[in-house]
């Protein structure tokens, strides 16, 4: 059985906000970087080190870590694109956004990966003192002509999945390009998008140009992979070699951004749906969470405790997480919801938070 985690890190439009669980339930305990957007926050569990990626409107992207649970912070140099690198011919490459940070790659506390916009993956092997662009991916022949922005100006790497048994085996999710895999630590990459659909492209089956919104692998069996995709919910049982759609035919579970997996049960997952790409609001102005317990064969709609009228909330790709029987998500209008029974019922911890970019249990 998994041990439930009792701290929530929220990356929000106005700082890093922290909740902790005690005998009285979940309680607000403080914040860091008030007023500064935190695009993603996560904990290095081995080092007990918190990481905060910032999207400062004036000063650009910043990267900080705390070794004392937010009491103090130290800034490290954010990734820098080398001179003369280009997004496309004639367009210089510079850091626009820190999408995701993967600490402690395969148990190595000094090995860190960061996914960025405009589509570069950066690696540090010294605990974040120095980051280097992963050239093997950046120089992939499809990048300049086949990758493009999905909702933002440029491609973004928002998902990193590292094989727990082999740190050289890594998957990434790119909007828009698709899922890519390396088996030799980033020297060579190949697309893993067979079975996906990109309805917005002239060729929906195109190998390049797919739009995974979030890519995850099950901790008990990493060959079982899921993605909440621009064009539906997809699953793979063979490590991404072949994907198949598991969207609900008659229900709301289709378009959305976030997906979370049960830590123990390989068949259970949650998504928070929205109407569509063109209408990014809750379906029928009614907030719901969809859960499958049979590997995506069927989905149930969970609404108890969630607003069922005049609701415009949606949930960003990193703003849904789970630990044990607890599920939490944060919305674009600053609502933080928690369930202690795997989604059967929900409580709102706060209606007045900033827009929530990320929710992570630590």
- How far is Cα 52 from Cα 33, in angstroms, rounded to an integer? 9
Give the DSSP H or E segment for 155: none
DSSP at 145: H
If one counts every other C-beta atom within 10 angstroms of the C-beta of residue 300, the result is 15
Domain range for 218: 79-361
CA dihedral angle for residue 193, residue 195, residue 196, residue 197, rounded to 10 degrees: 130
pTM of this prediction exceeds 0.95: yes
Residue 48 lies in a domain: no
Residue 1 has a pLDDT of: 45
% pLDDT > 90, the chain: 95
Residue 41 lies in a domain: no
pLDDT grade, residue 2 (50/70/90)? low
Give how far the C-alpha of residue 349 lies from the chain's centroid of Cα atoms, to the nearest Å: 22
Residue 131 lies in a domain: yes
Q: What angle do CA 162, 148, 140 make, to 5 degrees?
A: 55
Helices (H) and strands (E) in the chain, counts: 2, 30
Domain count, the chain: 1
Residue 297 lies in a domain: yes
Residue 266 lies in a domain: yes
Sort 165 into a burial class: Cβ within 10 Å, 0-12 / 13-18 / 19+. exposed
Section 40-54 average pLDDT: 93
Residue 328 lies in a domain: yes
Residue 45 has a pLDDT of: 82
Residue 304 lies in a domain: yes
CATH code: domain of residue 114: 2.130.10.10
Section 3-22 average pLDDT: 97
- How far is Cα 8 from Cα 28, in angstroms, rounded to an integer? 9
Residue 260 CB partners (closer than 8 Å, separation 6+) = 216, 269, 270, 320, 321, 322, 327
| Model pLDDT for residues 208-262, shown as the tens digit of each residue | 999 999 999 999 999 999 999 999 999 999 999 999 999 998 899 999 999 999 9
DSSP 120-143: -EEEESSTTS--EE-HHHHT-TTH
Residue 24 lies in a domain: no
DSSP 223-258: T-EEEEETTEEEEESSTTSS-EE---SSSS-SSEEE
Section 178-206 average pLDDT: 97
- How far is Cα 350 from Cα 234, in angstroms, rounded to an integer? 32
| Model pLDDT for residues 109-150, shown as the tens digit of each residue | 899 999 999 999 999 999 999 999 999 999 999 999 999 998
| Model pLDDT for residues 73-86, shown as the tens digit of each residue | 999 999 999 999 99
Mean pLDDT of the residues in the chain? 96
């Amino acid at each position: 059985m998994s041990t439930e985690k009792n701290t929530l890190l929220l990356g929000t439009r106005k700082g890093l906000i922290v909740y902790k669980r005690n005998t009285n339930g979940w309680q607000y305990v403080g914040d860091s970087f008030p007023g500064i957007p935190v695009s993603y926050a996560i904990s290095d569990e081995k080092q007990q080190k918190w990481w905060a990626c910032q999207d400062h409107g004036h000063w650009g992207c910043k990267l900080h870590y705390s070794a004392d649970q937010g009491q103090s912070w130290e800034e490290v140099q954010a990734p820098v694109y080398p001179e003369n690198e280009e997004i496309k011919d004639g367009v210089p490459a510079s850091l626009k956004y820190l999408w995701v940070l993967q600490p402690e790659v395969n148990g190595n506390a000094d090995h860190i990966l960061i996914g960025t916009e405009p589509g570069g993956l950066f690696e540090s092997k010294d605990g974040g003192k120095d980051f280097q662009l992963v050239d093997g991916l950046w120089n992939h022949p499809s990048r300049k002509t086949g990758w493009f922005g999905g909702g933002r100006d440029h491609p973004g790497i928002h998902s990193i999945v590292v094989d727990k048994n082999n740190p050289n085996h890594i998957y990434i999710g790119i909007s828009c390009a698709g899922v890519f895999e390396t088996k030799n630590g980033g020297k060579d990459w190949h697309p893993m998008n067979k079975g996906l659909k990109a309805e917005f492209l002239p060729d929906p089956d195109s190998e390049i140009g797919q739009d995974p919104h979030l890519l995850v692998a099950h901790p008990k069996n990493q060959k079982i992979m899921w993605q909440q995709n621009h064009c539906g919910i997809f699953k793979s049982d063979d490590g991404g070699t072949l994907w198949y759609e598991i969207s609900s035919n008659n229900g709301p579970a289709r378009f959305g951004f976030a997906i979370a997996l049960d830590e123990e049960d390989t068949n259970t997952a949650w998504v928070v749906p929205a109407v569509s790409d063109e209408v990014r609001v809750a379906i029928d102005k009614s907030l719901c969470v969809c859960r499958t317990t049979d590997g995506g064969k069927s989905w149930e709609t969970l609404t108890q405790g969630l607003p069922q009228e005049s609701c415009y909330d949606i949930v960003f790709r990193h703003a849904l997480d789970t630990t044990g029987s607890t599920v939490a998500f944060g919305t674009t209008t600053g609502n933080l919801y928690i369930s202690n029974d795997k989604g059967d019922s929900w409580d709102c911890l706060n209606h007045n938070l900033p827009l929530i970019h990320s929710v992570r249990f630590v």
